[in-house]
A = this chain, B = another copy of it.
Amino acid sequence: MDKPIGWELYRSFLAVLREASLSGAARDLGVAQPTIGRHIAALEKSLGLTLFTRSQSGLAPTEAALELRSHAEAMHSSAAALRRAAESHGDGVKGTVRVTASEVIGCEVLPPLLAALKATHPLLTVELVVSNRVQDLLRREADIAVRMTAPRQELLVARRVGQVELGLHAHPHYLQRCGTPRSLDDLPRHALIGHDEETPFLRAAKKTLPAWQRRAFAFRCDSDLAQLALIRAGAGIGVCQVALARREPRLVRVLARSFSLKLETWLTMHEDLRKSPHCKVTFDALFAGLQQHVG
């Protein structure tokens, strides 16, 4: 009851939390379902807590289990980081680097950069975490992050890429069909594409763009990528990166003088990784590529 707990138990615990079932966790870890069941039972006994309420449709975590989850996740991140570090050990650019970025950056901007990087360094493996949630570099959820806010944490190497400019855009087809707005007053008559839930961005946009509010949107969507797709499909007028609009299919910027938003863009990396050739090479390549992207 008071002796140290094997780390395997924590591993199984996290898997059950993620899969919400013993069977799923067993599949995930590549072991049999009774094994996981025994691990959870042993962990519960050692901790003196009930971690899950059993049911036929799976296991529901108790409040206690939820409190412990973040620690198990931290262990998982560290284990993954250890493996990446091991794979990348030695001279030369090889191994795995884990990059995180927002959905738009990750899907629209990074792929060609990463492809070119891989072509130059064939032994490099890239893990791309596309998420609007800010990953924690200190907990090693990623090695390198593209961020839209200046990092305030210590222990991080941060380099400012520049400003990403956002503007209102529409597809030529749409403008042909519905006309081009000449002033902000025209906007309410157009099909607007915006977010469903209130975001920091939305609050910022409202200041310069009073018409930009939820009830005015003809399309409400929280995925920036889907919004971009809607704009490209000629669904209406929406906000996207000016640099992206220049690509094919070519989008037309509207009301450029009335609306412009600039986001600070930073590339960050954990200090320890400066010595790893593969991380450094990736960092430099992304920096150059992103800088070119922001113009």
Residues of B within 8 A of A30 (CB): 3-4
For the complex with contacts A71-B78, A71-B79, 10 further pairs of A-B residues with Cβ separation under 8 Å are A8-B8, A48-B86, A64-B86, A64-B89, A68-B82, A68-B85, A68-B86, A71-B82, A74-B139, A138-B139
A142 to nearest B CB, angstroms?
14
Encode A173-196 as 1/0 by CB contact (under 8 A) with B. 000000000000000000000000
Residues of B within 8 A of A11 (CB): 6-7
User: Residue A219 at the B interface, CB < 8 A?
Assistant: no
Residues of B within 8 A of A87 (CB): 47
- Contact sample, A vs B, 22 pairs, CB 8 Å cutoff: A3-B30, A4-B30, A7-B8, A7-B10, A7-B11, A10-B79, A47-B86, A49-B86, A67-B89, A68-B85, A68-B86, A70-B272, A71-B81, A71-B82, A71-B85, A71-B140, A72-B78, A74-B78, A75-B79, A75-B82, A78-B78, A153-B153
Instruction: Please tell me how many copies of the chain the complex holds.
Output: 2
A85 touches B72 (CB 8 A): no
Residues of B within 8 A of A47 (CB): 83, 86-87
A223 to nearest B CB, angstroms?
27
User: Residue A5 at the B interface, CB < 8 A?
Assistant: yes
Name, among A5, A75, A82, A85, the residue most crowded by chain B CB atoms within 10 Å (CB to CB).
Answer: A82
Determine chain A's interface SS by DSSP, over half rule.
Answer: helix
User: Residue A207 at the B interface, CB < 8 A?
Assistant: no
- The interface size of chain A toward B, counting residues with CB under 8 Å, comes to 37
Interface positions of A (Cβ within 8 A of B): 3-8, 10-11, 29-30, 47-49, 64, 67-68, 70-72, 74-75, 78-79, 81-83, 85-87, 89, 138-140, 152-154, 272
Residues of B within 8 A of A86 (CB): 47-49, 64, 68
Residues of B within 8 A of A10 (CB): 7, 79, 82
